[in-house]
Chains A and B, each alone.
Chain A
Amino acid sequence: MSMDSDNLNLVDDLNTQEFTINMGPYHPSTHGVFRAVLTLDGEVIVKEENVLGYLHRGMDKIAETRTYSQFVPYTARLDYLASALNNMGYVQTVEKLMGIEVPERAEYLRVIIAELQRIASHYLMLGSTTNDVNAVTGFLYYMHDREKVLDLLEMVTGARLTSNYMRIGGVIDDLPEEFFPKVKEFLAYLPGRLEMMETLILGNEIFQERMKNVGVITAQMALDYGVTGPNLRAAGVRFDLRKVAPYSAYGKIDFEVPVLKNGDAFDRYQIRLMEIKQSLRIIEQAVQQLPEGPIMAKVPKLIKPPAGEVFHKMEGARGILGFHLVSDGGPKPYRLHIHGPSFVNIGIMPAIAPGMLLQDFLAAFATIDVDMGEVDR
Chain B
Amino acid sequence: MIGTGILKGMGITLKRFFSKKITQDYPDVMPVITPRSHGSLDFDAEKCITCGICANECPNSCIKLDTFKNEQGKKVLEKYSINLGYCLFCGLCVNACPKGALSFKTDFELACFSREGAIYTWKGKEPRPEETPAQPGDAKTAAGE
What residues make up the interface of A, taking CB atoms closer than 8 Å to B? 66, 69-74, 137, 141, 144, 151, 154-159, 162, 164, 167, 172-173, 176, 178, 196, 199-201, 203-206, 208
Q: Is the interface of A mostly helix, strand, loop or mixed?
A: helix
A173 to B104 alpha-carbon distance, docked (Å): 14
Please tell me if the beta carbons of B36 and A164 are within 8 angstroms of each other in the complex.
no
Q: Which residues of A contact B36 (CB under 8 A)?
A: 154-158, 173, 176
- Chain B residue at minimal CB-CB distance from A207: B5
If the complex has contacts A203-B5, A204-B9, A206-B6, are A172 and B34 also in contact, measured as CB distance less than 8 A?
no
A141 to B5 alpha-carbon distance, docked (Å): 17
What residues make up the interface of B, taking CB atoms closer than 8 Å to A? 2-3, 5-6, 8-9, 12-13, 16, 22, 33-38, 57-59, 88-92, 95, 104
Q: Which residues of B contact A158 (CB under 8 A)?
A: 34, 36-38, 89, 91, 104
- Chain B residue at minimal CB-CB distance from A137: B13
Please tell me if the beta carbons of A199 and B8 are within 8 angstroms of each other in the complex.
yes
- Chain A residue at minimal CB-CB distance from B16: A141
If the complex has contacts A155-B34, A205-B2, are A164 and B9 also in contact, measured as CB distance less than 8 A?
no
Q: Is the interface of B mostly helix, strand, loop or mixed?
A: loop
Please tell me if the beta carbons of B59 and A73 are within 8 angstroms of each other in the complex.
yes
A104 to B22 alpha-carbon distance, docked (Å): 39
CB distance from A42 to the nearest CB of B (A): 28
A325 to B111 alpha-carbon distance, docked (Å): 38
16 contacts between A and B (CB under 8 A): A71-B59, A73-B59, A74-B88, A157-B36, A158-B38, A162-B89, A164-B90, A173-B36, A176-B34, A176-B36, A200-B12, A203-B5, A203-B9, A205-B2, A205-B3, A206-B6
Q: Which residues of A contact B91 (CB under 8 A)?
A: 158, 164, 172
Q: Which residues of A contact B5 (CB under 8 A)?
A: 199, 203-205, 208
